[in-house]
Amino acid sequence: MSLHAAPRRVARRLLIMVAGLWLVGAASAAEPTEAQRTAFKQAYAAAQQGGDGWRTAASGLQDYPLYPYLEAASLTHDIRQIQRPQVEDYLKRYPALLTASDLRRDFLTELARRQDWDNFLAMYQPGLGDALTCNALQAQLSKGAQLDFDRDIAALWSKPKLPSACDPVLSAAHDQGLLTEARLWDRIDRAADAVQPGTINAIAGWLPADQTESARRIASALSDPGAAVVAANQWPDSPRNRQAATLALERLARRQSVTADVAWQKLQGRFAFTPDQRNRVMYALALFHATDYDADALSRLIALPASVQTDTSREWRVRAALAQQDWNAVLAAIDAMPATQQQDGEWRWFRARALAATNRAAESQRVLTGLATEPTFFGFLAADRMNAPYGICQTDLKGNAQRERALLANQGLLRAFELYAVGLPKQARREWTQALDGADADTLKQAVDLAYRRGWYDRAVFTFNTGDALRYYEQRFPLASQDGLVPQAEQAGIDPSWAYAILRAESAWMADARSGADARGLMQLLPSTAELVAKRNGVTWTGGDSLYDPITNIILGTRYLAQMAGRFNGAPWLASAAYNAGPGKVDQWLEARSSLPPDLFIATIPFKETREYVARVMSFAVIYDWRQHGNAVTLSQRLTPIGQTYTLPDSRSERKLVTCPVVAPPAPAQAGSAAPASSMAPPAAASSSGTH
């Protein structure tokens, strides 16, 4: 039988409908009480310890929407002791709940650990992830089944990285002669494209003996390009060794462009590189010399053949020209871009700047006139240059009583709201996603409105992320007074609008956000940084998990922002860059380019993430200022020249009127996208810098 048939979407939706009818009469059920929520929290804490002790604390909660979460938590804790009948009983009672699918997945993983393949196969369902897919294949192998490559292995084989559960299956496929030389090299090439040297090393030994070393050289080029380019001086010239050398040079150029240049001079005479390989190396060298702002960076980018150039190389041609303040070169670089790329707000702004600097004022004004209506970083800069009001078009979110009643009858959505209310936001987001799967735009708007009124602000950020929905500014830029941001920012001596902007850009209002570098909470602080800030400011420190408390996070986050601002003459734009990339990096950039005006300095920040972060935060600060006061301190006042002391906004600060242009352009995504455009985005996706 096939182990890879996808579950039928219709069947899944039917199960969701069944789940929506789970509680009889729930459509008219009253809002859960605080007493029920308190009892649930106590019972849930007990359930997470396993056993049946939770049942006493849960007495009277049988009709509470989250009651199934209690038993699931207990069973999950006891997963190594429970047996199939207990799990199947739960699945039968709650067939479509997320807790049931989670329990099935966890129990299947446990059965695989036990190597209880009979019960595993009896409970297995396709579509539960690569690890369980491989466990299912291992179960079949245990019964003497033969693998079929196209049916069983092909989908897995196409992935550059697989979980360790797949190792026995791949070994069996190899032993059965299914992993031919062509297939092995196909996977190696995929792994190389995805920068997965571990995958290459794991299968290199299955190649013929005379090819194993070539594969390992490709892996070495990915993991240690510096060592690889040195070793390449001794490699024989062969197609696979040329591939490894090309990869090593490309990777080394990212880290050490000058060293890569020297290595290229040696290796290009040793290997008969193909034209494509030569172009790839020349492209990498030109691009990363540009990110280092070397003296010949601009000429290298101009010299690249047209067939090799990309949007990225053309963009860096502009940045290299901006770093030199060569305005004619800026215009030439922008003119070399495709028309669609030229329409980006950043390049329209710098075209206008370059036109003005080359005595073409009328043309500059025409560019600025269109840009000044847009609610973005560069739109606000253009409005300041034109002495025009900011163009922000707000749309009010109108409720619909009938649609609201229908939504409140959706048990999945009620579970989502209740999970959020009891402090389980990760589970709440999952229930939200399932409950609104396939919902139309009007239903989503109503659901976001319900979430917003409950203080669940991140739903608007993730849902209203395109088109006209970007104009729901009240929901997308909430003013959450209950977290104390305004008084804490004022006590720290920073502008509350800027603090709001940092929070919004960092976490999109997800209090449980956690980055891959372990930055946590609304303002994404590393525990180590937070501990130092707490000591410095006399704040009680109770450990890293305290950063998930919004009040604690904001107290420490605003103090750290003040610390960063103090390091850079109070300038919020430089402090924002330091908050994202680290103050040491900003010091390096200042040492190299401190003579540039703020807009050019931001444009020449080498890190794409930090460039976009600073622009996003500063535009958000304008929007939050307008949200609080009905007008806004100008963006230009916030971008103090390097070395000049920033003055906090006060009653004497110039404030800009905000109007909606008569012909309103679509709200650009940059004005509102601070987080991934998916309501399923995990907390870790909210911030990737982890430097603070």
Distances (CA, A) of 634 to 197, 352, 591: 49, 19, 27
DSSP 72-101: HHHHHHTTTT--HHHHHHHHHHSTTSHHHH
Same domain, 529 and 627: yes
CATH number of the CATH domain containing 40: 1.25.20.10
In terms of pTM, does the model score above 0.85? yes
Residue of higher predicted confidence among 663 and 529: 529
Residue 213, exposed/middle/buried by CB under 10 A (0-12, 13-18, 19+)?
middle
Q: Does some domain include residue 318?
A: no
* Backbone phi and psi for residue 538, each to the nearest 5 degrees, phi listed first: 65, 30
> Over the stretch 202-243, which tens digit does the pLDDT of each residue have?
999 999 999 999 999 999 999 999 999 999 999 999 999 999
On whether the CB atoms of residues 193 and 243 are closer than 8 A, the answer is: no
pLDDT band of 53, cuts 50, 70, 90: very high
- In this structure, are 444 and 566 located in the same domain? no
Q: What would the pLDDT profile of 367-405 be if each residue is shown by its tens digit?
A: 999 999 999 999 999 999 999 999 999 999 988 888 899
Q: Do both 665 and 538 map to the same domain?
A: yes
Residue 688 has pLDDT above 50, yes or no: no
* Catalytic residue set: 506
Identify the pLDDT of residue 668: 54
Range of the domain at 151: 9-171
Residue 574 located in a structural domain: yes
For position 692, what pLDDT does the model report? 54
User: Is there a domain that residue 663 lies in?
Assistant: yes
Is 231 part of a structural domain of the chain? no
Report the chain's mean pLDDT, rounded to a whole number: 92
Four-residue CA torsion sign, 603, 605, 608, 609? negative
CA atoms within 13 A on the CB side of 334: 22
Residues 542 and 455 occupy one common structural domain:
no
475 phi/psi in degrees, rounded to 5: -80, -35
Per-residue model confidence (pLDDT) at position 395? 95
Q: What is the pLDDT of residue 662?
A: 76
pLDDT in tens, 474-513: 999 999 887 899 999 999 999 999 999 999 999 999 999 9
Q: What is the pLDDT of residues 277-315, one digit of tens each?
A: 999 999 999 999 999 999 999 999 999 999 999 999 999
Instruction: Examine the pLDDT at 16 and tell me if it is beyond 80.
Output: no
Mean pLDDT of 668-686: 39
User: Mean pLDDT over residues 648-664, rounded?
Assistant: 86
Beta strand ranges found along 375-456 (DSSP E): 390-391
Same domain, residue pair 490 and 550:
yes
Q: Quick one: 89 and 20 in the same domain?
A: yes
Element (H, E) at 175: helix 167-175
For residues 561 and 633, state if they share a domain: yes
**464 and 505 fall within a common domain:** no
| Co-location of 507 and 419 in the same domain | no
Bridge partners (DSSP) of residue 633 are: 655
Q: Which two tokens stand for residue 634?
A: 């100008």
**Would 185 be classed as within a structural domain?**
no
Q: How confident is the model at residue 3 (pLDDT cuts 50, 70, 90)?
A: very low
Q: Are strands 658-659 and 632-633 parallel, antiparallel or unpaired?
A: unpaired
Q: Is residue 259 part of a domain?
A: no
Closest by CA to 500, choosing from 370, 648, 623, is 623
Q: Which residues are 655's β-sheet partners?
A: 633
55 inside domain: yes
* Assigned domain for 463 exists: yes
Same domain? For 521 and 542 the reply is: yes
Residues in the chain: 692
Number of domains in the chain: 3
**440 and 589 together in one domain:** no
The reported pLDDT for the residue numbered 640 is 97
pLDDT tens column, 158-179: 999 999 999 999 999 999 999 9
The domain boundary residue, chosen from 171, 205, 227? 171
Task: List Cα–Cα distances, 424 to 419, 456, 544, in angstroms.
Answer: 5, 12, 18
Q: Which of 148, 171, 194 is the last residue of a domain?
A: 171
Q: What confidence category does residue 689 fall into, taking pLDDT thresholds of 50, 70 and 90?
A: very low
Q: What is the distance between the alpha carbons of residues 326 and 334, in angstroms, rounded to a whole number?
A: 12
Q: Which residues contact 535 (CB under 8 A, 6 or more apart)?
A: 541
571: domain CATH number is 1.10.530.10
Instruction: Tell me, yes or no, whether 568 and 523 share the same domain.
Output: yes
pLDDT of 4 strictly over 70: no
Give the mean model confidence (pLDDT) for residues 341-347. 98
Question: Helix, strand or coil for residue 157?
Answer: helix
Indicate the residue among 150, 171, 192 that finishes a domain: 171
Closest CA to 552 of 580, 525, 516: 525
